[in-house]
Structure 1
Amino acid sequence: MKGKSTLITGGDSGIGRAAAVLFAREGANVAIVYLDEEQDAQETIRLIEEEGGTGLAIRGDVGDKSFCEEAVNRTVESFGGLDVVVANAAEQHAVESFEDIPAEQIERTYRTNIFGYFYILQAAMPHLKRGASIICTTSVTAYRGQDLLIDYTTTKGAILALVRALASKFAHKGIRVNGVAPGPIWTPLIPASFPPEVVKEFGKDSPLERPGQPNEVAPSFLFLACEDASYMTGQVLHPNGGDPISS
């Protein structure tokens, strides 16, 4: 990853931060996109620089196409190009009753989790050359479902389809597109999304009987980003605590 220019959406905390720091450790320069968590974003930049990398924090909403274009342009201008894009930003909101999921919530979740992926990758494509890597964060929920997160779950299924479609679309250009489908991972989204009784039991039903940590997911992103994965495209890695997945 030495000298590679990387852009990670949702890079201020959780899985995004862990990937950013690991990329920097391996020599990459890393731009992170975040919504409004200024303190978290600056802490991520500090950690990137502590690893010897150059960090860039870009604040804005990935659901806004013009912002995504700006974020890509700022990354290219700062680092001299773009080699790796990690589409990772997401939001989720637990709702007990399917019938009660608000229309505004559905639209917002899709705008962040799907439109945001389209917008950032559309903006990135003119800058990506042969050997570039795109990595999209999907989820075990795309394979297993999650009855409290139905709108979120359907976006993760769409991301899985997006990975496969883009991998086919850009294989002839030598641009690889893969995904990572984490299982129950302890991130700030969990206590912010679920009631306390669900948080207390979070991840205990996995075969390893515990939730994973973001640093246990980040190596999957690193592998897919670097040359070690040069013969992989259209694939999904599953750091999920042992849940057997059939694609």
Structure 2
Amino acid sequence: MEGPPRRNGEDDTDKKHTGDYLAEKLIAQITKVGVKYIAAIGSDNTGNTKKARRLVAAEFPTIINFSDPIHHMNLMIGDITSLPEFQDIVEKVKRILTYFNKSWAATSVLAEKRAEQGIGQGLEKIGKTRFATVWRGSNSIQNSLPLIRELVKNGEIAVKEVNELFKERSAALNFEIELIKYNSIIAPVAHSIKSLESTQTTPADVYIFWLAIAASIKEYLGKGSNVTRISNTLAEKITKIINTRY
């Protein structure tokens, strides 16, 4: 049985990649390959690629227009991170990362401690373009938390503005609890995003990971406030966000 023609590319580095331009190229290739071989079209969520998907789907009604699931998962992280209940911990995370980012001496001594303890991951800055960027930074602090406390206790570093989070017992305990709370909620989504960025991902994988996210967070919230320190009100807000994005 004859299969579709071989794939080919095009050197268009000197062209403006507008939605109309991308759609034109896609429609030409789909027509060449045969629309019967194409079930769906997907891309990231930039303006030009979204428009191109819409135009292709309008030209070929049998082709499903898939939105970017990773983008939607990241938006869900943003929704949860923006909840008032997490603003304090997010602000503290930013201050800690800013301190280390601006202090080469503190970064170096922490790196030495990590090497001694066999901890490979360093602190990760929060950026505007990376998915789950706040969680990456927060999780990296949690991994190095015992080492930072030791350095503060020994007087080797003093984390500007938030030093009590690593020194004063009550403040340190509350900080760790809030850190674990936030990281535990976001972790299933962040890990799913990383997995779904694989070139081998299929729509079925997206569905499975969405179910896994919902199940993981439901299980965590179901442990009760005595374990998670998450109020019923906050749990309801998180559940509403997940259901909306789903």
- Quick check: TM above 0.5? no
What range describes the TM-score normalised by the shorter chain of this pair? 0.3 to 0.5
Q: Which has the higher strand share?
A: 1
When normalised by structure 1's length, the TM-score is 0.33
- Please give the TM-score of this superposition, normalised by the length of structure 2: 0.34
Q: Which is bigger in relative contact order (C-alpha 8 A, separation at least 6)?
A: 1
**Higher Rg of the two aligned structures:** 2
